[in-house]
Amino acid sequence: MAQIISQTGFAHLTDLPCFRLQLGHATAVISAYGAQLLSYCPHPQQEVLWLSSEATWHNHTAIRGGVPVCWPWFGPAASQLNPDNVSLPNHGLVRNRLWQLEAHQITADSISLTLLITLNDLPYIDGSCELRLTVTLTEHQLTLRLHCNQPMLRQAALHSYFNIGNIRHTTVSRLPRRYHDKVQQTIVDNATTELTIQEETDRIYQQPGAELLIQTPGQHLQLKQHGHDATVVWNPWQQKSRQLSDVTDDGYLHFVCVESASLSLAQADTLDLSQTLSLERVDA
């Protein structure tokens, strides 16, 4: 069975406008608010993404979990993108706005859906700009593609929160050795290409490869990325988790963010950033 259903509500977010994609055993749910993928299950009950039980979307709040779309800046807006130095939200302007359904397609072996947002209030650009997010579900993988044809100065990220059971038993591998440690404010040359998180972690890896692996006992998630110039790995750990009103005190144990990003502000450019997820079960 292959279908796309428009539905109101997902999990505890009972009034959220969403689309549910189903292809055979695989399902995905994407919110029109933020064009945020909230769920990807290659098989029933096998949730790849983490969504905070405390997430909310009212009062212009960005939803904590799934795959938030960060655009046209990542983190706080850089001065080139905020010439008047006004107060702007973290991670851009599209996480907390409604997107429109632009197109959908069902073929024998895939379903895809494109959401569109048009902005005419970018603080550093005159006129309007269109950004699209296409989600494509096949039986064995899901691809998110964030694209914009207009060359412009911008950053972007697919800020994926992965459901990992227990952070202490999770490894992210195939990372570059060098990274910018945002917690310690230093550049680090690591001895390994593997990371097991044991403390607050906020790292920017420049020029990572096209394929990463997130391993937990019993399963391997392959993450392929394209159009990126950085990968960000984030976990707030205990103390920061407690400071986040939309994460429970032990919430940090259950997710890791591994984000495909395009962060360079060296020149105006179009955008074609994607992340493809495929889950492999591993015999214990």
Q: Cβ closer to ligand TA6: 117 or 257?
A: 257
- Quick check: 62 binds ligand TA6 (CB under 6 A)? yes
Please provide residue 240's backbone torsions phi and psi, each rounded to the nearest 5 degrees.
Answer: -65, -35
What track of x and - describes contact with ligand TA6 for positions 208 through 247 (by CB under 6 A)? ------------------------x-x-------------
Beta-bridged to residue 100, according to DSSP, are: 116
Q: Cβ closer to ligand TA6: 4 or 247?
A: 247
- Quick check: 57 binds ligand TA6 (CB under 6 A)? no
Secondary structure (3-state) at 96:
coil
- Quick check: 90 binds ligand TA6 (CB under 6 A)? yes
- Quick check: 205 binds ligand TA6 (CB under 6 A)? no
Say what the alpha-carbon torsion angle 237, 240, 97, 259 is, to the nearest 10 degrees: -30
Q: Within positions 110 to 129, which residues make up the interface with ligand TA6, using CB under 6 A?
A: none
- Minimum distance, C-beta of residue 204 to ligand TA6, in the bound complex (Å): 8
- 158 token code pair: 């697919």
How does DSSP classify residue 120?
A: S
- Minimum distance, C-beta of residue 76 to ligand TA6, in the bound complex (Å): 9
CA-closest candidate to residue 181, choices 192, 172, 173, 189: 189
- Quick check: 93 binds ligand TA6 (CB under 6 A)? no
Query: Could you give the angle at the alpha carbon of 72 between the alpha carbons of 207 and 6, nearest 5°?
Result: 105
- Secondary structure (DSSP) of 69-90: EEBS-SSSPPGGG-TT-----T
User: Which of 91, 159, 228, 254 is flagged as catalytic?
Assistant: 159
- Quick check: 55 binds ligand TA6 (CB under 6 A)? no
How many angstroms separate the CA atoms of 20 and 67, rounded? 15
Q: Cβ closer to ligand TA6: 215 or 231?
A: 231
Select the residue interacting with ligand TA6 from 91, 132, 228, 254 (CB under 6 A): 91
Kindly tell me the burial class for residue 192, based on how many C-beta atoms sit within 10 Å of its own C-beta (0-12, 13-18, 19 or more): exposed
Catalytic: 159?
A: yes
How many angstroms separate the CA atoms of 30 and 33, rounded? 9
Catalytic: 43?
A: no
Q: Cβ closer to ligand TA6: 80 or 90?
A: 90
Select the residue interacting with ligand TA6 from 17, 75, 123, 165 (CB under 6 A): 75
Cβ atoms 4, 30 nearer than 8 A: no
Q: Cβ closer to ligand TA6: 75 or 209?
A: 75
User: Which of 91, 228, 254, 259 is flagged as catalytic?
Assistant: 259
How many angstroms separate the CA atoms of 155 and 107, rounded? 33
Secondary structure (3-state) at 239:
helix
- Minimum distance, C-beta of residue 44 to ligand TA6, in the bound complex (Å): 29
Q: Cβ closer to ligand TA6: 42 or 251?
A: 251
Site residues for ligand TA6 per CB under 6 A: 62, 75, 90-91, 159, 202, 232, 234, 257, 259
Active site residues: 159, 259
